[in-house]
Structure 1
Amino acid sequence: MSKLSEEDIEKRLIRFPEWEYHNNAIHAEYEFENFKDCFSAMSRIAFECEALNHHPDWTNSYNILKISLHTHEVDGVTLKDFKLAEAIELIVEEEDE
Structure 2
Amino acid sequence: MNVKSICLGAFALSALSGVTFAGVLDEPSNMQPFFTDAGMKTMKSDADFKAAWGAMSKDKRDAMKKECNDAAMSKPHAEFCVKVHQLGGNS
TM-score of Structure 1 vs Structure 2, range by shorter chain:
under 0.3
TM-score between both structures, scaled by the size of structure 1: 0.24
Rg larger in 1 or in 2? 2
More helix by share: 2
Greater relative contact order (CA < 8 Å, ≥ 6 in sequence): 1
More strand by share: 1
